[in-house]
Amino acid sequence: MAQAIKKKIFNVGVILTIALAHQLWFAQPGFAAPLGLPDNTAKIGYGVAYAYVSVDDPEGSTKDEWIAQPLNLVYTDWLFSDIRQWSELYYFSGSLDADSTNIGQDVESLGLRFSLQTSFRITKSWSPWFGAGVSLSNTKYTARHTKDADGFLLQSYDDREETHVSLLLNFVSEWALQQKWSLAAKLEQIFPLSEDISQFSATVVVLYRY
Protein backbone atom coordinates (compact mmCIF):
# COMPACT_ATOMS: atom_id res chain seq x y z
CA MET A 1 0.00 0.00 0.00
CA ALA A 2 2.76 2.44 0.98
CA GLN A 3 4.72 1.53 -2.14
CA ALA A 4 1.69 2.24 -4.34
CA ILE A 5 1.18 5.64 -2.70
CA LYS A 6 4.86 6.50 -3.18
CA LYS A 7 4.67 5.48 -6.82
CA LYS A 8 1.59 7.64 -7.37
CA ILE A 9 3.24 10.63 -5.69
CA PHE A 10 6.30 10.09 -7.88
CA ASN A 11 4.18 10.00 -11.04
CA VAL A 12 2.37 13.20 -10.03
CA GLY A 13 5.70 14.84 -9.31
CA VAL A 14 7.10 13.90 -12.71
CA ILE A 15 4.11 15.31 -14.55
CA LEU A 16 4.07 18.52 -12.48
CA THR A 17 7.81 18.93 -13.10
CA ILE A 18 7.27 18.56 -16.84
CA ALA A 19 4.44 21.07 -16.72
CA LEU A 20 6.55 23.60 -14.75
CA ALA A 21 9.57 23.15 -17.02
CA HIS A 22 7.36 23.59 -20.04
CA GLN A 23 5.85 26.82 -18.69
CA LEU A 24 9.29 28.22 -17.81
CA TRP A 25 10.61 27.31 -21.26
CA PHE A 26 7.85 29.11 -23.09
CA ALA A 27 8.22 32.09 -20.79
CA GLN A 28 11.66 32.77 -22.29
CA PRO A 29 12.07 36.26 -23.85
CA GLY A 30 12.58 34.76 -27.32
CA PHE A 31 8.88 33.96 -27.59
CA ALA A 32 7.48 37.44 -28.17
CA ALA A 33 3.80 38.17 -28.66
CA PRO A 34 2.69 39.08 -32.19
CA LEU A 35 2.41 42.77 -32.98
CA GLY A 36 -0.87 44.32 -31.91
CA LEU A 37 -1.44 41.97 -28.95
CA PRO A 38 -1.02 42.89 -25.25
CA ASP A 39 2.52 42.51 -23.84
CA ASN A 40 1.30 39.69 -21.62
CA THR A 41 -0.74 37.15 -23.57
CA ALA A 42 -0.43 34.22 -21.14
CA LYS A 43 -3.67 32.78 -19.75
CA ILE A 44 -4.42 30.29 -17.02
CA GLY A 45 -7.72 28.52 -16.61
CA TYR A 46 -9.85 25.84 -15.01
CA GLY A 47 -12.10 23.55 -17.01
CA VAL A 48 -14.63 20.76 -16.61
CA ALA A 49 -15.12 18.11 -19.25
CA TYR A 50 -17.32 15.22 -20.25
CA ALA A 51 -15.67 12.46 -22.29
CA TYR A 52 -16.76 9.40 -24.24
CA VAL A 53 -14.11 6.90 -23.14
CA SER A 54 -12.99 3.65 -24.75
CA VAL A 55 -10.39 1.37 -23.12
CA ASP A 56 -8.20 -0.93 -25.19
CA ASP A 57 -7.92 -3.81 -22.72
CA PRO A 58 -5.40 -6.59 -23.51
CA GLU A 59 -7.78 -9.25 -22.12
CA GLY A 60 -10.81 -8.42 -24.26
CA SER A 61 -13.47 -5.89 -25.17
CA THR A 62 -14.92 -3.18 -22.92
CA LYS A 63 -17.99 -0.97 -22.99
CA ASP A 64 -17.62 2.66 -24.00
CA GLU A 65 -18.82 5.07 -21.33
CA TRP A 66 -19.38 8.79 -20.77
CA ILE A 67 -17.18 9.91 -17.84
CA ALA A 68 -17.08 13.31 -16.15
CA GLN A 69 -13.63 14.94 -15.95
CA PRO A 70 -13.89 17.67 -13.30
CA LEU A 71 -10.22 18.68 -13.06
CA ASN A 72 -8.50 20.37 -16.03
CA LEU A 73 -5.86 23.06 -15.39
CA VAL A 74 -4.93 25.08 -18.47
CA TYR A 75 -2.00 27.30 -19.44
CA THR A 76 -1.93 28.91 -22.88
CA ASP A 77 0.14 31.62 -24.57
CA TRP A 78 1.14 32.90 -28.01
CA LEU A 79 4.38 31.59 -29.48
CA PHE A 80 4.84 33.42 -32.76
CA SER A 81 2.85 34.69 -35.75
CA ASP A 82 -0.61 33.06 -35.47
CA ILE A 83 0.52 30.02 -33.43
CA ARG A 84 -0.14 29.50 -29.73
CA GLN A 85 0.48 26.62 -27.33
CA TRP A 86 -2.16 25.02 -25.10
CA SER A 87 -1.08 22.92 -22.09
CA GLU A 88 -3.50 21.06 -19.87
CA LEU A 89 -2.91 19.09 -16.68
CA TYR A 90 -5.86 16.78 -16.04
CA TYR A 91 -7.19 14.08 -13.75
CA PHE A 92 -10.28 11.91 -13.91
CA SER A 93 -11.68 8.64 -12.61
CA GLY A 94 -14.67 6.55 -13.60
CA SER A 95 -16.04 3.05 -14.09
CA LEU A 96 -16.86 0.87 -17.09
CA ASP A 97 -19.72 -1.59 -16.67
CA ALA A 98 -19.10 -5.33 -16.97
CA ASP A 99 -21.15 -8.12 -18.54
CA SER A 100 -20.41 -11.62 -19.80
CA THR A 101 -18.38 -10.39 -22.79
CA ASN A 102 -17.15 -6.94 -21.76
CA ILE A 103 -14.54 -6.38 -19.05
CA GLY A 104 -15.70 -3.91 -16.42
CA GLN A 105 -13.15 -1.87 -14.52
CA ASP A 106 -12.38 1.31 -12.61
CA VAL A 107 -10.21 3.79 -14.50
CA GLU A 108 -8.07 6.52 -12.92
CA SER A 109 -5.90 8.75 -15.11
CA LEU A 110 -3.50 11.65 -14.53
CA GLY A 111 -1.85 13.33 -17.48
CA LEU A 112 -0.55 16.30 -19.40
CA ARG A 113 -1.79 17.37 -22.84
CA PHE A 114 0.11 19.75 -25.09
CA SER A 115 -0.91 21.11 -28.47
CA LEU A 116 -0.02 23.84 -30.95
CA GLN A 117 -3.01 25.77 -32.24
CA THR A 118 -3.66 28.18 -35.07
CA SER A 119 -6.77 30.27 -35.67
CA PHE A 120 -8.88 30.45 -38.84
CA ARG A 121 -11.42 33.14 -39.63
CA ILE A 122 -14.72 31.37 -40.28
CA THR A 123 -16.91 34.48 -40.20
CA LYS A 124 -16.20 38.17 -39.65
CA SER A 125 -16.60 37.80 -35.89
CA TRP A 126 -15.59 34.15 -35.32
CA SER A 127 -12.03 32.82 -35.53
CA PRO A 128 -11.78 29.46 -33.73
CA TRP A 129 -8.54 27.59 -33.04
CA PHE A 130 -7.52 24.25 -34.54
CA GLY A 131 -4.73 22.28 -32.89
CA ALA A 132 -2.70 19.07 -32.84
CA GLY A 133 -0.40 17.65 -30.21
CA VAL A 134 0.42 14.86 -27.76
CA SER A 135 -0.88 13.54 -24.45
CA LEU A 136 1.23 11.88 -21.74
CA SER A 137 -0.78 9.93 -19.18
CA ASN A 138 -0.41 7.53 -16.28
CA THR A 139 -3.52 5.35 -15.95
CA LYS A 140 -4.62 2.71 -13.44
CA TYR A 141 -7.12 -0.02 -14.37
CA THR A 142 -8.50 -1.77 -11.29
CA ALA A 143 -11.36 -4.14 -10.35
CA ARG A 144 -11.20 -5.71 -13.83
CA HIS A 145 -13.85 -8.43 -14.17
CA THR A 146 -16.72 -9.94 -16.12
CA LYS A 147 -20.10 -11.00 -14.70
CA ASP A 148 -23.13 -12.97 -15.82
CA ALA A 149 -26.66 -11.72 -16.51
CA ASP A 150 -27.56 -12.13 -12.82
CA GLY A 151 -24.62 -10.01 -11.67
CA PHE A 152 -22.44 -12.87 -10.41
CA LEU A 153 -18.68 -12.76 -11.02
CA LEU A 154 -17.47 -14.80 -13.98
CA GLN A 155 -13.80 -13.92 -14.07
CA SER A 156 -11.48 -11.39 -12.47
CA TYR A 157 -8.24 -9.97 -13.86
CA ASP A 158 -5.16 -8.43 -12.30
CA ASP A 159 -4.96 -4.68 -11.86
CA ARG A 160 -2.69 -2.90 -14.28
CA GLU A 161 -1.00 0.49 -14.51
CA GLU A 162 0.34 1.99 -17.72
CA THR A 163 2.08 5.16 -18.90
CA HIS A 164 1.29 6.08 -22.48
CA VAL A 165 1.79 8.69 -25.16
CA SER A 166 -1.16 9.51 -27.44
CA LEU A 167 -1.81 11.92 -30.30
CA LEU A 168 -4.61 14.47 -30.20
CA LEU A 169 -6.60 16.89 -32.32
CA ASN A 170 -8.65 19.73 -30.87
CA PHE A 171 -10.93 22.63 -31.70
CA VAL A 172 -11.27 25.65 -29.40
CA SER A 173 -13.61 28.62 -29.54
CA GLU A 174 -13.27 31.58 -27.15
CA TRP A 175 -15.53 34.44 -26.10
CA ALA A 176 -14.45 37.53 -24.15
CA LEU A 177 -16.27 38.05 -20.85
CA GLN A 178 -14.48 41.03 -19.29
CA GLN A 179 -11.15 42.79 -19.75
CA LYS A 180 -9.01 39.84 -18.66
CA TRP A 181 -11.55 37.01 -18.52
CA SER A 182 -12.74 34.77 -21.31
CA LEU A 183 -14.74 31.56 -21.77
CA ALA A 184 -13.53 28.73 -24.01
CA ALA A 185 -15.18 25.60 -25.36
CA LYS A 186 -12.90 22.77 -26.50
CA LEU A 187 -13.65 19.60 -28.46
CA GLU A 188 -10.84 17.06 -28.51
CA GLN A 189 -10.13 13.58 -29.84
CA ILE A 190 -7.29 11.50 -28.38
CA PHE A 191 -5.76 8.66 -30.43
CA PRO A 192 -3.73 6.11 -28.41
CA LEU A 193 -0.51 4.72 -29.90
CA SER A 194 -0.77 1.50 -27.85
CA GLU A 195 -3.13 -0.21 -25.37
CA ASP A 196 -4.55 2.90 -23.74
CA ILE A 197 -7.66 5.08 -23.55
CA SER A 198 -9.12 6.73 -26.63
CA GLN A 199 -11.60 9.48 -25.89
CA PHE A 200 -13.65 12.26 -27.37
CA SER A 201 -14.20 15.09 -24.91
CA ALA A 202 -16.06 18.37 -24.63
CA THR A 203 -14.58 20.88 -22.18
CA VAL A 204 -15.67 24.29 -20.90
CA VAL A 205 -12.79 26.46 -19.61
CA VAL A 206 -12.75 29.79 -17.79
CA LEU A 207 -9.52 31.64 -18.70
CA TYR A 208 -7.78 34.57 -17.03
CA ARG A 209 -5.08 36.66 -18.72
CA TYR A 210 -2.55 37.70 -16.09
Span 161-186, average pLDDT: 94
Q: Are 116 and 134 in contact (CB under 8 A)?
A: no
Domain extent for 36:
2-209
Q: Report the candidate in 134, 128, 150 with the shortest Cα–Cα distance to residue 193.
A: 134
Residue type, 85: Q
pLDDT band at 64 (very low <50, low <70, confident <90, very high): very high
Please provide residue 14's backbone torsions phi and psi, each rounded to the nearest 5 degrees: -60, -45
| Residue 144 DSSP symbol | E
- What confidence tier does 80 reach under pLDDT thresholds 50, 70, 90? confident
* Per-residue pLDDT at 17 exceeds 70: no
- Considering its fold, how many domains does the chain have in total? 1
Residue 99, domain CATH: 2.40.160.20
pTM above 0.85?
no
Integer angstrom CA distances of residue 122 from 76, 130, 186, 204: 22, 12, 16, 21
Cα separation, 33 vs 105, whole angstroms: 46
